[in-house]
Amino acid sequence: MFKIQSVVDFDGLFKIHNNLIILYANNQLTLRDFNLKVLHELTLQNTPSSFGVHNEKLLIGYSNGLLEIYSIKPLHLVKKISPVDYKNILRGTDEGHLGNAVTFTHFVSNSTFISADESSRVFCMSLKGLGWLEGLDKQRLFGRYPLPPSNPLQLPAFHSKLLDVAVCQPYTAILTPTKLIVVSLKPSPTTIYRVINEKPSDHTTGTLAWNNNTLVFNWSNTVYKVNLDDQITHSSRVYDRKIMSSHWIDSNLILLRSPTTFDLVEPASLEILESQPYDTSHLPNTPSSFQVLRKKCFFLTENHLSVAFLLNYKDRLGSLAKDGKYIEALQLAVAYFKGEGGHRLTTHLPDSTMERQPLVQPFLSSLLKSSTTYLEKTITAQSKEALRYLAKHMIEAAYLIDNLDWLFNEIFDIYQNNKLEYPFLVELEPLVRYGKLPVIPPNMSQLLLRLYDPKDHPGRYEELVLNLDATQLDLNGVIKSTKIHKLWKAFIYVHLTALGDFLTPTLELINSIRNDQQEGDKVTLFDYLGYTLSGLLYPSQKALESIDEDYSEEGLSFRGKTSIYQLLFNGKLHSDDINTSDNYSYPYVRFLLALDSRLFFAVLNRGFEEGYFNDEGTSRPLSRQTIVNLLLEMIYTQDLPIGTITQIEVFVSTNLSKYPQFLMLPSSTILQLIMGLSEMQDDSEGNQDISGASQNERELAVESLLSTFTPNSLNKILDQLIEVFERAKFYKILKSSYRTKKEWRNLIRITLEDIYDEGLFENLNQTFKWSRDDVELFDVFETFVDTLIRLDADELVMLVDKHSNDSDEVHTNIVQWCQEKRHIVEYLAAALRIRNGELSDPLKDIYITALATYKKEEVYGAIKAYDFNHELVDRLCVEGNIIDARLYHLNAEGLHKEAFDYLRHSTSESADEDTLKRAFKVGMKIAIDYAHNGSEEANNMWFIVLSSSMTAVRKYNWSNDILDEILNAVVLHTDLNKMTFSTLFRKLVDHFMVEPKGEDKPYDQLRSVLMCFMDSIRSRQEIFSVARRIMDRDAASIINEYSEKRRSGWSASEKYRNELDELRKYNEESRKLSEIAEELEQQGVDYREIFEIPPVKQRVVKVYQ
């Protein structure tokens, strides 16, 4: 990243500017150019502490506060600025440095400069020349003077330590441990930006660096970037190291210097791109001790002025090669070539691969040759690990630049001549095994195979064989090894590519499966056959024709297909087959059918799709027709399993329609196939279909066969076979036939039998449209209604309403046809919902009766939503003890007293928990309605609901959840003008206290009621007390306004009168609440004490939302 070298022996103060190096040591000031030629020398009487350069001027700041301006060509003093007198400062007649060392000087322009001293004061000074009169303008930008000792009572002047000052026309940045200030010098010095350090400390360090209008600064390990363009923006990043200084290398790179590293940072994200270790902890840590110019960093080391050059990719590679680090350079070049080394901002390499690699390739090629020379000279002295390391990088380099000749003829020869092939081969092997090196020398192929014993590493051995040129191998040895260890992929690959032998792998696999019955061997066999019959090499799927580039009948692909077809469809065993016990004709077809008939026909289908059979010349021993005839012959002459026969029939049928120009069968054979495919083959118990093909597969095959007939012949066949298709449940064929014949009843029936068809209701709708809504068609639905309702009751209702002449009659029939009575509820509920309650009374009676029988919890909702026979509803509710529904029904009939008496009576009777809770909630809703309507009956209703629920909670040992829900409803919906809480509570107390002795009193429930009421009262009191104060204030304001208006002859409008009425209502309500509290106190209930009882947890009552 950086190359560091010494520039000159030196230990002192320095300044780098353009082509000028300014050095000071031992009272001697020296100016040199970048070739270190001495330009000027000057002996100084005072000790300088800072330098500033602009064009041909040199500004020197001294340790005593003196400033001198020199002209460089020739070197002579132009202006001396002495330290100011403190008395003049007190009088306000002068500004400037007192007697402190000037630590920073910088020219802003030819006549203006910025200076700062060790007392943290910063000045802007401008030289003014008016003819014979010369002047000097001084402006203090930062810092304060010390207070005179004559003012001992005043506070001492604030003193802030100055960390750094940096200038970029027209801005001056001033950094202290606590803040950053940016001052604009034009038109007059003005602070335009300020940042406060939120975590300052005595140990805070920092530096500044400008690049155009972008400022980078740091406080300890946090770096900030401020952009002062049209809109000021800033960003920051915290690092895990102490930052000693920050510098701009160029507009695209920032250098951060830490005690141990140089870090290059990308300005946009402030992310570290590269780091180089370098110990700078011993270097001086002042802003002037480390300077950057033109991508060069100048800094002091022990007695030296050193420079660090930022190296691009050429410099880095050249530097390593020059130092004899060839392998390290080669490794770096490989990283650059792959886009993995460095960053484009630091290496100057483009991101694009197409642009980057041509730039790096010449260096990579040269370094590869240099590394080879280094290897040749040092190979005998290298360890095995080192030799592997060298081989790894050299192999990768040669591979990347495609210089394999050099790799094999030069580098490998060095290893081989020294009998050290192993390290090289171990590193080369992964490239070969992964197929990245398609061609290698023959002798190397054999050496690579010796790396692995197929017994211990079968996978790697097989992968190597598959990626080597089989013709270069020891065929006998490889074939023997792969056969013994059953490395079938490699075994097949060698036979096909080296020997052109397709039969031996097939026979070996068949015999292996006969002996071992391994599933993996079966898959391998069918994959191999399928690839070969498709013209592909197994297992790479590379086209066989591309291996020998012979597309004729003499080529590898054609010969392979011919060999496989001849073997499989041979009537006898092959002469090389070691099995002699199979005496059936076509033994290999029988074997593959028995092994997996589906996979066999999948392979055969792939073969049929190839163009091999399209030209039926004499060189082709078989054709599609021959194979089909052979398979049909096996059906009729050999004892094949039913499943296998069905698979043959499906294969023949589908291909008959696919290749009509190549396949022909007599009608009698086609009819036999249709009959065979239409027969359901069940097991001995008559439960499981053992036909070997799904119903859908068989139906598709039959459809293919039927498509070979002419329309007239097809109609006759359909008439003859319609019953056969009915038994086979070939619904698609049957639907098509009945639709063509316009047999709508049969079409509806078949559509219903295909009950799980996704388009069931859509098909039924379409059929009714075609039939012009023949009402008799709904009779067909009788045996299917339960399933239809289960699928979608809404769709069935809409179908009836849309296509029946008397929908109520059809609905009645469907209800009668239901075998499961719960479906009656579901169906009629859908009918009521869709028809908005417009259903005949008998159907409504059926619905409410079924609902009361099977779904009691839904009766209340039904009678609330729809109108039913009142007497029937009452009777069903009494018989079924449906308390909530009867309570609602009696109230709806205007019998609210009887309704709530019924609720109270039902509570004392035996009832299940869910029924009673539903009844309480219905009673609560009724009481709310009456309360909202202002009825006084609501008081009694609330009493009954509360007392009944309290009784149930105690009697059935419930939780208080239902009681809490009712209490919240009471306080939310009670008008205190109609009913007071105290009255209601008194009735509850009286009610339970008169119960017979020995009965448990509901003290816990009474306590809950009282606490709830008190919470509500307190909440309302607080709300109304606040509201009353607000309204009182508003009322006074409004009344004053009325008085002024009336004195002017204006009468108050109705609007203001209404506002006053509202105010009076608030006050009246507040007064009533106070009376309620007083009434409770008179009854012996001190509500103030209740709220202070520790064991009782107050409820949060949502009185006002």
Tokens read off for 1091: 């709220």
Lowest mean pLDDT among 132-136, 169-173, 509-513, 725-729: 132-136
Among residues 120, 153, 125, 149, the alpha carbon closest in space to that of 139 is found at 125
Mean pLDDT of 113-131: 86
- CA dist 698 and 933 (Å) reads 72
Q: Is residue 538 part of a domain?
A: no
3-state secondary structure of 431: helix
Lowest mean pLDDT among 287-296, 484-493, 605-614, 980-989: 980-989
pLDDT reading at 981 higher than 70: no
CA atoms within 13 A on the CB side of 440: 27
pLDDT reading at 1104 higher than 50: no
3-state secondary structure of 622: coil
Q: Are 984 and 939 in contact (CB under 8 A)?
A: yes
Q: Report the range out of 608-617, 641-650, 953-962 with the highest average pLDDT.
A: 641-650
pLDDT reading at 829 higher than 50: yes
For residue range 28-49, list pLDDT tens digits in order: 999 998 888 899 999 998 999 9
Whether omega for the bond prior to residue 996 falls within 30 degrees of 0, making it cis, is no
Tokens read off for 532: 């070969």
- CA dist 389 and 327 (Å) reads 9
Q: Are 814 and 800 in contact (CB under 8 A)?
A: yes
Going by the DSSP 8-state scheme, the letter that residue 147 receives in this structure is P
Domain boundary among 419, 450, 476: 419
Residue with the bigger pLDDT between 67 and 520: it is: 67
Which positions ≥6 away from 367 have C-beta within 8 Å?
317, 321, 326, 329, 330, 333, 397
Lowest mean pLDDT among 211-215, 809-813, 961-965, 1007-1011: 1007-1011
Residue with the bigger pLDDT between 940 and 1102: it is: 940
- CA dist 939 and 955 (Å) reads 24
Furthest CA-CA distance within the chain:
134
- Identify the burial level of 14 via C-beta atoms within 10 angstroms of its C-beta, where 0-12 means exposed, 13-18 middle and 19 or more buried: buried
Kindly indicate the confidence band of residue 1095, based on its pLDDT and cuts at 50, 70 and 90.
Answer: very low
Lowest mean pLDDT among 465-479, 493-507, 542-556, 596-610: 542-556
124, 201: one domain: no
| Alpha carbon distances (Å) from 144 to 88, 205, 844 | 15, 21, 99
Q: Is residue 922 part of a domain?
A: yes
Amino acid 966 reads I
Q: Is residue 459 part of a domain?
A: no
165, 138: one domain: no
863, 968: one domain: yes
Q: Are 937 and 930 in contact (CB under 8 A)?
A: yes
Question: How many domains, in total, are found in the chain?
Answer: 5
**DSSP string covering 278-347, please?**
---TTS--STTSEEEETTEEEEEETTEEEEEEEP-HHHHHHHHHHTT-HHHHHHHHHHHHHT-SS-HHHH
Q: Are 174 and 115 in contact (CB under 8 A)?
A: no
Q: Is residue 530 part of a domain?
A: no
- CA dist 207 and 166 (Å) reads 9
Mean pLDDT of 537-544: 91
- CA dist 671 and 677 (Å) reads 10
CA-based torsion, 54, 58, 61, 67: positive or negative: negative
Q: Are 872 and 844 in contact (CB under 8 A)?
A: no
130, 171: one domain: no
132, 20: one domain: yes
Residue 3 host element (H or E): strand 2-9
Percent of the chain scoring above 90 in pLDDT: 32
> Any idea of the CA torsion for 976, 982, 984, 988, to the nearest 10 degrees?
170
pLDDT reading at 152 higher than 60: no
Q: Is residue 469 part of a domain?
A: no
17, 141: one domain: yes
Q: Is residue 494 part of a domain?
A: no
Among residues 769, 706, 778, 771, the alpha carbon closest in space to that of 741 is found at 771
Q: What is the pLDDT of residue 1066?
A: 44
- CA dist 227 and 238 (Å) reads 18
258, 371: one domain: no
Going by the DSSP 8-state scheme, the letter that residue 381 receives in this structure is G
For residue range 264-276, list pLDDT tens digits in order: 999 989 999 889 8
Percent of the chain scoring above 70 in pLDDT: 83
**DSSP string covering 658-720, please?**
H-TTT----HHHHHHHHHHHH---B-TTS-SB-SSS-HHHHHHHHHHHHTTS-HHHHHHHHHH
Q: What is the pLDDT of residue 1100?
A: 30
Q: Are 843 and 831 in contact (CB under 8 A)?
A: yes
- CA dist 224 and 581 (Å) reads 88
Q: What is the pLDDT of residue 1073?
A: 45
- CA dist 453 and 456 (Å) reads 5
- CA dist 843 and 1018 (Å) reads 55
pLDDT reading at 1036 higher than 80: no
Helix then strand count (H, E) for the chain reads 41, 28
Going by the DSSP 8-state scheme, the letter that residue 471 receives in this structure is G
- CA dist 400 and 334 (Å) reads 8
Q: What is the pLDDT of residue 157?
A: 45
Kindly indicate the confidence band of residue 630, based on its pLDDT and cuts at 50, 70 and 90.
Answer: very high
Kindly indicate the confidence band of residue 1098, based on its pLDDT and cuts at 50, 70 and 90.
Answer: very low
For residue range 186-237, list pLDDT tens digits in order: 888 999 999 999 888 888 999 999 998 899 999 999 999 999 887 788 899 9
For residue range 499-536, list pLDDT tens digits in order: 999 999 999 999 999 888 788 899 999 999 999 999 99
974, 1068: one domain: no
For residue range 796-807, list pLDDT tens digits in order: 999 988 888 888
Q: At 177, which CATH number? A: 2.130.10.10
Among residues 334, 361, 330, 356, the alpha carbon closest in space to that of 344 is found at 356
Cβ atoms within 10 Å, residue 536: 19
Q: Is residue 545 part of a domain?
A: no
Kindly indicate the confidence band of residue 398, based on its pLDDT and cuts at 50, 70 and 90.
Answer: very high
Whether omega for the bond prior to residue 539 falls within 30 degrees of 0, making it cis, is yes
pLDDT reading at 1090 higher than 60: no
234, 315: one domain: no
Give the domain extent around 206.
Answer: 159-278
* Cα 22 versus chain centre, distance: 59
pLDDT reading at 810 higher than 60: yes
Q: Are 978 and 931 in contact (CB under 8 A)?
A: yes
Q: What is the pLDDT of residue 691?
A: 64
Kindly indicate the confidence band of residue 1094, based on its pLDDT and cuts at 50, 70 and 90.
Answer: very low
Q: What is the pLDDT of residue 686?
A: 47
Lowest mean pLDDT among 488-502, 538-552, 599-613, 1008-1022: 1008-1022
- CA dist 750 and 738 (Å) reads 9
Q: What is the mean pLDDT of the chain?
A: 82
For residue range 663-700, list pLDDT tens digits in order: 899 988 999 999 989 887 655 454 455 566 888 889 89
Which positions ≥6 away from 921 have C-beta within 8 Å?
884, 962, 965
138, 63: one domain: yes
Kindly indicate the confidence band of residue 562, based on its pLDDT and cuts at 50, 70 and 90.
Answer: very high
Q: What is the pLDDT of residue 999?
A: 55
- CA dist 370 and 362 (Å) reads 12
230, 128: one domain: no
342, 409: one domain: yes
Q: What is the CA radius of gyration of the chain?
A: 52
Tokens read off for 135: 């002047």
Among residues 945, 985, 984, 948, the alpha carbon closest in space to that of 966 is found at 945
3-state secondary structure of 282: coil
| Alpha carbon distances (Å) from 179 to 117, 201, 638 | 18, 12, 100
Q: What is the pLDDT of residue 1085?
A: 45
3-state secondary structure of 855: coil
pLDDT reading at 158 higher than 60: no
For residue range 424-466, list pLDDT tens digits in order: 999 999 999 888 887 888 888 889 988 888 888 999 999 999 9
Domain boundary among 111, 146, 181: 146
Q: Are 653 and 704 in contact (CB under 8 A)?
A: yes
Describe the chain by its helix, strand, coil percentages, rounded to 5.
50, 15, 30
Q: Are 507 and 491 in contact (CB under 8 A)?
A: no
Domain boundary among 90, 123, 146: 146
Amino acid 302 reads E
CA-based torsion, 975, 977, 979, 985: positive or negative: positive
Q: Is residue 258 part of a domain?
A: yes
3-state secondary structure of 492: helix
